[in-house]
Amino acid sequence: MKNWLAQHARALLFTLRRLLAAPVSSALNILVIGIALSLPAGMVVLLQNVQGMAERAVDAPQISVFLSMDAGRDDTARIDRQLKQHQAIGKIEFVPREQALEQIKQSTGLADVIGGLTQNPLPDAYVIYPKNTGAQALEALRDELQKWQGIEHVQVDSAWARKLEALLRFGRLATLILGVLLGFALVAVTFNTIRLQILTRRDEIEVSKLIGATDAFIRRPFLYSGMLHGLLGGAAAWLIIVTSLLLVNGNLAELAQLYASSLVLRPLSAGDSLALLGFSACLGWLGAWLSVAQHLRRIEPR
């Protein structure tokens, strides 16, 4: 086990020395990978911020539940108890029919007309604030409540939620397509970089095979090289995103002051940052493995 770890440590140190021995070419490769990865990762950050700002800008969705006109106190108490015990409901507000009529009288300016009514035409109602604000969840809760005894009508406005979900789905699809394409580009860049390294070290590889070196031993430094290129490219992408957000947030702060609001774009979370680094390292390793698998078998001692 110690010997195996020592071999990997030597291969990693050897790869780092070769990386530092050609700083310009290494930096250019890492920068290309970083720019390619920063595009889909930046779109992910943008989508997360757009979703958060949209949810803050739009009032929390409500469901209005209108009771039957003939619903008695027992029915109201039963429905009140069921609503409070429902797992999908966060908060409820009871609106008595007298309060609803008074609100209409004050907001419409029809006090004389409403005062001439012989009886209150409005039912008791509940205003419900669901925990899940997705369009499908809102409509499912509406359909469930509509079946309860004593409830006449349930009204919910899920149009804005559907529009937001459609916009975010389109953004995620575009990000996925861009990420896949640029992921192939990253693999191609690493593939070509490792191919050049293999061709440059052809004589060294032939000598190593002559003295009995295994393919795994010869392959190991190239795989580490690809993984390091990918990992450093991911770090460069993260740095590009953070720097861009700092510049943008500086301008947004001035704009937010003019409109007396708070507007800040949040960077990648710790989990997303680690995922970016891990994903880029895996792609670099994949490109190196494909290159080594194709070119190493062609090199045999003469």
Range of the domain at 10: 2-57+163-298
Q: Confirm whether pTM is higher than 0.85.
A: no
In this structure, the answer to whether residues 290 and 258 fall within a common structural domain is yes
95: which residues sit within 8 A by CB, 6+ positions away?
124, 125, 126, 127
Question: CA 62 to CA 130: how far, in whole Å?
Answer: 7
**Closest CA relative to residue 194, chosen from 284, 299, 102, 101:** 284
Number of domains present in the structure of the chain: 2
In this structure, the answer to whether residues 174 and 138 fall within a common structural domain is no
In this structure, the answer to whether residues 191 and 109 fall within a common structural domain is no
Burial call 191-214: b when 16+ CB within 10 Å, e when fewer: bebbbebbeebeeebeebbeeeee
CATH number for the domain spanning 76: value is: 3.30.70.3040
Phi, psi of 283 (to 5 degrees): -65, -40
What pLDDT is stored for residue 54 in this prediction?
Answer: 60
In this structure, the answer to whether residues 146 and 10 fall within a common structural domain is no
In this structure, the answer to whether residues 147 and 180 fall within a common structural domain is no
Helix (H) or strand (E) holding 32: helix 23-57
pLDDT, tens digit, 9 for 90 and up, residues 161-216: 677 777 778 888 888 888 888 888 888 888 888 888 887 777 777 777 777 767 67
In this structure, the answer to whether residues 230 and 170 fall within a common structural domain is yes
In this structure, the answer to whether residues 182 and 272 fall within a common structural domain is yes
In this structure, the answer to whether residues 125 and 43 fall within a common structural domain is no
In this structure, the answer to whether residues 224 and 179 fall within a common structural domain is yes
In this structure, the answer to whether residues 6 and 77 fall within a common structural domain is no
Angle at 186 between CA 184 and CA 192, to 5 degrees: 100
In this structure, the answer to whether residues 149 and 289 fall within a common structural domain is no
Q: Please identify, among 132, 157, 182, the residue that sits at the C-terminal boundary of a domain.
A: 157
What pLDDT is stored for residue 129 in this prediction?
Answer: 83
What pLDDT is stored for residue 239 in this prediction?
Answer: 93
Q: Please identify, among 105, 122, 157, the residue that sits at the C-terminal boundary of a domain.
A: 157
Question: CA 30 to CA 189: how far, in whole Å?
Answer: 10
In this structure, the answer to whether residues 170 and 256 fall within a common structural domain is yes
Q: Please identify, among 135, 157, 179, the residue that sits at the C-terminal boundary of a domain.
A: 157
pLDDT < 70 positions in the chain = 1-4, 7-8, 52-60, 100-121, 157-161, 213, 215, 253-264, 298-302
**Closest CA relative to residue 220, chosen from 2, 5, 32, 33:** 5
Question: CA 61 to CA 133: how far, in whole Å?
Answer: 7
